[in-house]
């Protein structure tokens, strides 16, 4: 039977989708599960928060997902346009002249993400599953790079899992066309800067330089850190202070090698991990070369996959029973209430400015540095509010920068030199000009 597909110029509408449920929320937008009436199965729908990102960013992500279509990448079914039943009566919103929301319709992954798997199991994964996940992520990333694409935010919560715990790369909102093919890209001019901002614990040391232009070695480094997480079942760097982590990474420090186990292929994956996170980008192996290692290790342990999957499914059933009992309590409410989930996108949470002490503001500014650099657009307006806290030379440098991304990186340098007082003032300015981010 042919799999369902949806032409980009034929968006799905409200008449074909029902039973909406929020399954993830973050600074950029929300992800919902909904039932497609005709197809007879659930799909995932990604909607952006209004005013946070231009709708063009969705179509760029759709273009990347289309070009990157393969077995190890989350499937894009099409697009959505309508009034989702999540913010009041859709009929009243339509009559009131409210613009329709647009989104992406993708395959729904019942098992969640690699991050949620770590959170639920609390232990390292079974070795055969480690080998398969390491290989499948490498296959998906190699395919992206072969298509002259980059991911830019490879981390556990962006690796989704199907019913049998196969890896599917997802969340291409930070993807960019590789610099080698930007001139032929369909991306708008403002998107051709080539700058990326992923999660700092998975970013290479060179990415923290203000003049950095990402290349494929960015993704390869991220894969090395991701490999560490797959091997250990943990998040790298227990310290959540971005400045300390960044300073350590730039100084050559990496997560400690996981405790060795007597399994076939262990040494090979650890060696690959260390090659991928090399400080020198030119020494990191291409994914095409990495596949030789991951495929060999996976082949050696392939026979153990059915038993490993069976054991993980048993562990999941215990967790799922409790989760389902909790989630059904509000199922018949007419509109969806936003709740936390294990798959939540880890972006800034909204906290009332009145409740924030000075240390809390400083902590927020430090902890959410990557997300704020990526999202803030009113940089010069913020510097105006900061007044003399920003030196004239720094202000002129920011004004001369071509993008808000570069301006924000320069502004953060000024914040760190100014100390906690300036960071707290920056938070207040941010709350005034970008309330949706705090």
**Fold type of domain 114-306:** Transferase(Phosphotransferase); domain 1 (1.10.510)
The CATH number assigned to the domain with range 354-433 reads 1.10.533.10
Pick the CATH number of 14-108 from 3.30.465.10, 3.40.50.11540, 3.30.200.20, 3.40.50.180: 3.30.200.20
DSSP letters for 211-266: T----HHHHHHHHHHHHHHHHHSS-S-S---HHHHHHHHHTT--PPPPPP---TTH
Q: Where are the domains of the chain?
A: 14-108, 114-306, 354-433
pLDDT higher than threshold 80 for residue 29: no
Whole-Å CA distances, 270 to 20, 191, 222, 261: 42, 36, 14, 11
CA distances from 150 to 122, 173, 215 (A): 31, 11, 8
Output the CA torsion 361→366→367→373 (10° steps): 110
Q: Please state, rounded to an integer, the average pLDDT across all residues of the chain.
A: 79
Instruction: Tell me if 46 is assigned to a ligand binding site.
Output: yes
Quick: pLDDT tens for 129-180.
999 999 999 999 999 999 888 898 899 999 999 999 999 998 875 555 443 3
How far does CA 373 lie from the centroid of its chain? 15
Nearest to 230 by CA among 160, 306, 126: 126
pLDDT at 108: 95
Please state the rounded mean pLDDT for residues 81-105.
73
Active site residue 30: no
List pLDDT tens digits, range 205-226: 999 988 888 899 999 999 999 9
Work out whether strand 76-82 and strand 159-161 pair parallel, antiparallel, or are unpaired.
Answer: unpaired
What pLDDT is recorded for position 95?
58
pLDDT at 54: 55
pLDDT band per the 50, 70, 90 thresholds, residue 204: very high
Return d(Cα 71, Cα 22) in angstroms, integer: 26
Look at residue 323 and tell me whether its pLDDT is greater than 70: no
**Which of 42, 153, 343, 366 does the annotation list as catalytic?**
153
């Amino acid at each position: 039977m042919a799999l369902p597909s949806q032409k980009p110029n034929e968006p799905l509408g409200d008449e074909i989708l029902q039973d909406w449920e929020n399954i993830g929320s973050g600074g950029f937008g929300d992800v919902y599960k909904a039932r497609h009436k005709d197809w007879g199965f659930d799909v995932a729908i990604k909607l952006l928060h209004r005013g946070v990102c231009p709708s063009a960013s969705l179509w760029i992500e759709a273009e990347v997902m289309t070009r990157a279509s393969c077995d190890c990448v989350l499937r894009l079914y099409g697009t959505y346009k309508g009034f989702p039943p999540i913010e009041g009566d859709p009929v009243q919103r339509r009559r009131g002249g409210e613009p329709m929301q647009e989104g992406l319709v993708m395959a729904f992954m019942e098992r969640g993400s690699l991050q949620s798997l770590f959170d639920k199991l609390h232990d390292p994964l079974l070795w055969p599953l480690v080998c398969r996940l390491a290989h499948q992520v490498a296959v998906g990333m190699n395919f992206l790079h072969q298509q002259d694409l980059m991911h830019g935010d490879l981390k556990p919560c962006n690796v989704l899992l199907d019913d049998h715990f196969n890896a599917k790369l997802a969340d291409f909102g930070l993807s960019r066309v590789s610099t080698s093919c930007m001139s032929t890209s369909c991306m708008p001019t403002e998107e051709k800067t080539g700058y990326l901002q992923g999660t700092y614990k998975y970013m290479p040391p060179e990415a923290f330089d203000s003049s950095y232009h990402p290349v494929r070695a960015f993704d390869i480094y991220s894969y090395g850190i991701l490999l560490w997480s797959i091997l250990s079942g943990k998040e790298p760097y227990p310290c959540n202070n971005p400045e300390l982590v960044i300073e350590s990474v730039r100084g050559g420090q990496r997560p400690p090698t996981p405790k060795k186990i007597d399994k076939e292929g262990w040494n090979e994956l650890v060696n690959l991990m260390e090659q991928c996170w090399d400080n020198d980008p030119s020494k990191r192996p291409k994914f095409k070369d990495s596949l030789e290692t991951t495929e060999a290790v996976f082949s050696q342990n392939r026979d153990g996959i059915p038993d490993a999957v069976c054991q993980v499914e048993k562990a999941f059933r215990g967790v799922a029973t409790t989760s389902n009992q909790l989630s059904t309590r509000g199922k018949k409410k007419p509109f969806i209430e936003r709740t936390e989930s294990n798959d939540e996108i880890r972006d800034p949470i909204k906290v009332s400015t009145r409740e924030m002490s000075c240390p809390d503001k400083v902590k927020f500014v430090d902890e959410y540095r990557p997300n704020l650099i990526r999202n803030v657009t009113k940089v010069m307006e913020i510097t105006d509010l900061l007044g003399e806290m920003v030196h004239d030379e720094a202000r002129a440098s920011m004004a001369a920068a071509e993008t808000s991304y570069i301006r924000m990186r320069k502004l953060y340098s000024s914040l760190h030199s100014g100390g906690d007082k300036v960071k707290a003032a920056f938070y207040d300015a941010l709350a005034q000009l970008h309330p949706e981010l705090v």
